Structure 1
Amino acid sequence: MLIVDKKSFNIGLGLLISFLVVLALMLSPVIDGKTILIYSEDLFNSLTKGSTYQIPAVEKSAEKFAGTSFSVSVKAADAAEGEQIAKVYGSAGADVKVDSNKVDISGDLGKISLAALKDADALFNGRVDELKGAYGMDGKEVIYCWYGGFKALNKQYKLDAKSSEMSFTGNVMSKALEPAYNFEGIKPVKVREKMGVTGFLLTFYVIYTVWFGFAVMYLFEGMGITATAAKKKLEA
């Protein structure tokens, strides 16, 4: 290996070695038995969950659909799942009819939505025993059943060009059921509660990325490898 600029090469080598030392530290369990990377991932997941809590707002919008009747058919994966869907919707007061893996559901959109949102709130906030006691099912299974029905409803409202109902059922799925299911088991945290450590980590990740870039740049300079723009040829 030919070194044409020893000073630049040594700077690059020093930056690369220090970069790897910090990386080794980040991969060590130094924060409550967790690596810095895992701690950061958990923190950002908690911050994301804390910023997605919109269930109360969706509950408020459900009030105007009280008395709005609906009827929809849901196709489950199998007969067992069909029975689960029927149990969840039936417990909320809907009329259900099961035929193998097909479930026909009818009821009051406002009333059913509030029941679904209540269960989503329970899972989102870690009250899994509440759902287990009510349905004898895992919390995520309950929300999955709710989601199947609302997905079918949303699709039907789209076909029927009922924009208000379509928008509302879409919000129930995206702002309540999906966050509750996807963030199950994660403790929600507000950004203001972790402002200091969040700011530090974001700043550190930017600096750490630039750190590696400069290490490579100086190493290449030390070996005489530089990027130059191609010269244009003059045409006669």
Structure 2
Amino acid sequence: MIAHKKEFTGGLLLFIAFWIVFVIGMSPIFGDGKNILNYMDNLYNTISKKSAYYIPAVKEKTVAYQGKMVSFTVKGKNPEQAASMAKLFTAGQAKVSLKDEIVKVEGDFGLILDNIINDAEVMFANDGKMIRAKYGLPEKQALYDLWNAMKSAEKDLNKQKKFKEAKIINQVQTKAVEPAYNYYGIEAEDIKSKLGIVVASLAGYVIYTLWFGFSILFMFEGWGLKLEH
């Protein structure tokens, strides 16, 4: 039994309209065949890319390791990944020995880190062709294997009680390699150029959330149900 038809009808219309807007939002009509979620995800990625550019700051921290010799062992998930890891460290002028999934690395820590950071810089600038030519691997695969190699290297260096070396490996991994991988293919944009869309999207999110809440509230009131405390 509907106690208050006016409130119930208003709530029902809001509820139906909410789902109509939802269906429209999920349709691929927002540029390049994107739905609203894909479009907004891409928008916020483009305006956040500049703020994720930590590479110069990380590179400064690696200067202290120039000429410092280091040795560590990394383990791939399989022999193929281990071979890929070996290529990545060889490019940093390290001496590498490979057996099954195990890669032993020895060399100038500064040169190894420089090579990693340079690769991250290239990928952050969306120049994947250079990485493909350098390693003969798909660019994102190369960076993925590098990330795993660094994670394994950090673990081994901690076992050796080389905590400073492990720490800088982690910083290069999280502040250079990760952003380069995550933002690859995304063109950075200044938030000022997208300020109107950003404000509208945030306001729209709040309004849309309230829209759903009020539709339920009005329907419940129409049924004669009330929230009391």
Larger radius of gyration: 1
Q: Does 1:193 align with 2:193?
A: yes
Measure, in 1, the Cα distance between the counterparts of 2:201 and 2:72. Answer: 48
Question: Equivalent pairs: percent with the same residue?
Answer: 33
1:18 matched residue in structure 2 = 17
Distance 2:153 2:11 in 1: 60
Partner of 1:67, secondary structure, is coil
2:157 and 2:82 map into 1 onto residues whose CA distance is 22
Normalising by structure 1, what TM-score?
0.88
Residue aligned with 1:103, SS: strand
Query: How far off its partner does 1:154 sit?
Result: 1.7
Residue identity matched to 2:222:
G
RMSD across aligned C-alpha pairs, in angstroms?
Answer: 1.9
| Residue 66 of structure 2: aligned partner | 66
Extract unaligned runs of 5+ from structure 2. Answer: none
1:30 counterpart residue number: 29
- Higher mean Cα deviation, 186-195 or 113-122? 186-195
- Note the 1:85-124 alignment, pairs <5 A: 85-124=85-124
For 2:204 and 2:86, how far apart are their aligned partners in 1? 50
Using the TM superposition, name which of 23-32 and 7-16 deviates more: 23-32
Cα distance in 2, alignment partners of residues 94 and 160 from structure 1: 19
Distance in structure 1 (CA, Å) of the matches to 2:55 and 2:216: 48
Deviation per CA, 1:51-88: give whole Å up to 9, x if none. 21211211121111112211011112222222221112
Counterpart CA distance in 2 for 1:147 and 1:35 is 31
What SS does the aligned partner of 1:186 have? coil
Aligned counterparts of 1:200 and 1:68: Cα–Cα separation in 2: 52
Deviations 1:82-141 (A, max 9, x none): 222111211220010112221110111111111101111212221010011111111122
Determine if contact 1:51/1:190 at 8 Å carries over to the other structure.
no
- SS at the partner of 2:137? coil
How far does residue 163 in structure 1 lie from its aligned partner after superposition?
4.0
Q: Which amino acid aligns with 2:138?
A: D
SS of residue matched to 1:58: helix
Residue 168 of structure 1 deviates from its aligned partner by 1.4
Cα distance in 2, alignment partners of residues 173 and 42 from structure 1 = 24
Cα drift, residue 221 of structure 1:
0.3
Q: How does 1:34-183 map to 2 (within 5 A)?
A: 34-183=34-183
* Equivalent runs, 1:211-226 vs 2, <5 Å: 211-226=211-226
Q: Which moved more, 1:147-156 or 1:166-175?
A: 147-156
SS at match of 2:29: strand
CA contact (8 A) 1:47 1:191 kept: yes
Q: How far 1:218 sits from its partner (Å)?
A: 0.5
- Specify the alignment match of 1:3 in structure 2: 2
Query: 2:144 is aligned with what amino acid?
Result: Y
For 2:221, the aligned partner's letter is: E
* Count, aligned residues: 228
Separation in 2 of the partners of 1:155 and 1:142?
Answer: 20
- Report the more deviating stretch, 159-168 or 81-90: 159-168
Normalised by the length of structure 2, the TM-score is 0.90
Gaps of 5+ in 1: 230-236
Query: Given that residues 27 and 34 in structure 2 are in contact (C-alpha distance below 8 angstroms), is that contact kept between their aligned partners in structure 1?
Result: yes
